Amino acid sequence: MTPRRRQRMVLIAMIFSGVAVSAGLALKAFQGNLLFFFSPTQVEAGEAPDSRNFRLGGMVVPGSITRETGSMTVNFVVTDYAHSIPVQYTGVLPDLFGEGQGVVVRGQLSEASNFFAEEVLAKHDENYMPPEVAEALAQSEKAREP
């Protein structure tokens, strides 16, 4: 092997090991950051993880939004018309959050199977339904038909 070849081999080896190490790190980050989506029915059925963030989607039940005057904490109920999950969130809500609207919340289940949301996503068109929510609703509708 000529010295020049060897140098080149070293360069290539360095690139490869660098790529391998970062690919490993990326894979780890990838697995750690997968956020699964569940409907209230799936949560009721115990499919959602206990101590890990996931996303919950459905419709905000009309009349379920409550807050104490002056408080930033808001409570509401998300439903797929088969099952409902109470959600609590503290912070500024997105513009299109509202009763009877589709919503996706990201957060964790508490022990009392309340959902603590870190983030509330509502999409920016009043007719627009997040595709996941639309599908979850369709699923639960199908399940309720005899």
- The binding site for other proteins (CB under 8 A) comprises 4, 7-8, 10-11, 15, 18-19, 22, 25-26, 29-30, 32-37, 53, 55, 67, 69-72, 74, 90-93, 95-96, 123-126, 128, 130-132, 135
- As measured in angstroms, the least distance from the Cβ of 146 to other proteins is 24
> What secondary structure letter does DSSP report for 7?
H
Report whether 87 contacts 121 (CB < 8 A).
Answer: no
> Is the Cβ of residue 111 or residue 125 nearer to other proteins in the bound state?
125
The residue assigned the tokens 């905000």 is: 60
- Identify which of residues 69 and 111 has a Cβ nearer to other proteins in the complex: 69
Please, are residues 72 and 53 in contact by the beta-carbon 8 Å criterion?
A: no
Could you tell me which residues are beta bridge partners of residue 121?
Answer: 104
- Are 120 and 105 in contact by the 8 Å Cβ rule? The answer is yes
Smallest distance, Å, CB 135 to other proteins? 8
Question: CA nearest 136: which of 44, 38, 33?
Answer: 38
- Between 46 and 146, whose beta carbon lies closer to other proteins? 46
Q: What angle do CA 83, 63, 61 make, to 5 degrees?
A: 25
Which residue's CB is nearer to other proteins, number 122 or number 146?
122
To other proteins, the closest distance from the beta carbon of 37 in angstroms equals 4
Please, what is the minimum distance in Å from the beta carbon of residue 29 to other proteins? Answer: 4
